[in-house]
Amino acid sequence: MTTSHEIRDCVVVTGASTGIGAASARELARRGFHVLAGVRRDQDADALRAPGIEPVILDITQPGHITELAARVDSQAGALRALVNNAAIQINAPLEILPLSEWRRQFEVNLFGHVAVTQALLPALLRHSGRVVNISSVGGRVAMPTYGPYAGTKFALEAISDSLRRELAPLGVRVVVVEPGSVRTEMADRVIVATNQAAAVMSPEQRDRYGSLIQAINAHSAAHTPGGTPADAAARVIAKAVTTRKPRTRYTIGRDAALITRLTRVLPDRMLDRILVASLRPHYPKATTA
């Protein structure tokens, strides 16, 4: 906790247990902010707690947790300078096989939870001309096969961010989108596990249709993650989005994200389809390669 003679401005970071969120909490604390870092479990809080970092138990799908967070922000001596909406889950699965309950769960966490937190903290952000930083994804610009559920949430987050930016600009609150590509975090392994769990309940006919595709998607992810951007480097981009005086509306993280976002602006859909198919081809099981 800060003392009365050491009042720090505050930043809220959701999804700070691991990966980009944890790295961002540490980077923002290093830059002099008091970070309210949302985590799901007590052990995550214990691992993250450090000078300038105050972990708070936060499930952004739980209204009670959000109410408690807003009350904590209002009790903070320093101004709320930014909300970093980072929490996310991901399951890659063909549209046909993923139950609607899992679609809804991804949208609850990756979209509606962020809306709820933003609604609760906007009064404080408006009082202090703060900033909303929404962590999207390169998947908010292009949807690989099986990425429909996750990319759907990120495309929606991008649209909401655009609308919110235009609503709040006259009121002094900036809205920034950050679009990471491949980042070296624990999330990639969790995604593969979740994807395999979803695939395990496929019917034989569905396995014939999608089994090789799912293996290729998992292999593609496993191959690209080790060469991805380190979480600490991603955190520096997010900190820039929080602190720079005149931020851009969007920042990418990683060369892959920068390249893909450029391609989506200039290439027709069919050409982009062919590029994505070619990127997956080396990762299909050998026995099914034509």
The domain locations on the chain are 10-283
CA distance 151 to 116: 20
Q: What is the pLDDT of residue 1?
A: 42
Per-residue model confidence (pLDDT) at position 86: 98
- The amino acid that residue 191 corresponds to is V
Rounded distance, CA 76 to CA 204, Å? 56
pTM score, two decimals? 0.93
Q: Which residues contact 187 (CB under 8 A, 6 or more apart)?
A: 18, 19, 88, 90
Structural class in CATH, domain 10-283: alpha beta
CB of 109 closer than 8 Å to CB of 61: yes
Residue 150 is a catalytic residue? yes
Say which of 147, 150, 210, 251 is annotated catalytic: 150
Q: What is the pLDDT along the chain (290 residues), one digit of tens a residue?
A: 444 457 799 999 999 999 999 999 999 999 999 999 999 999 999 999 999 999 999 999 999 999 999 999 999 888 999 999 999 999 999 999 999 999 999 999 999 999 999 999 999 999 999 999 999 999 999 999 999 999 999 999 999 999 999 999 999 999 999 999 999 988 888 999 999 999 999 999 999 999 999 999 999 999 988 889 999 999 999 999 999 999 999 999 999 999 999 999 999 999 999 999 999 999 999 864 44
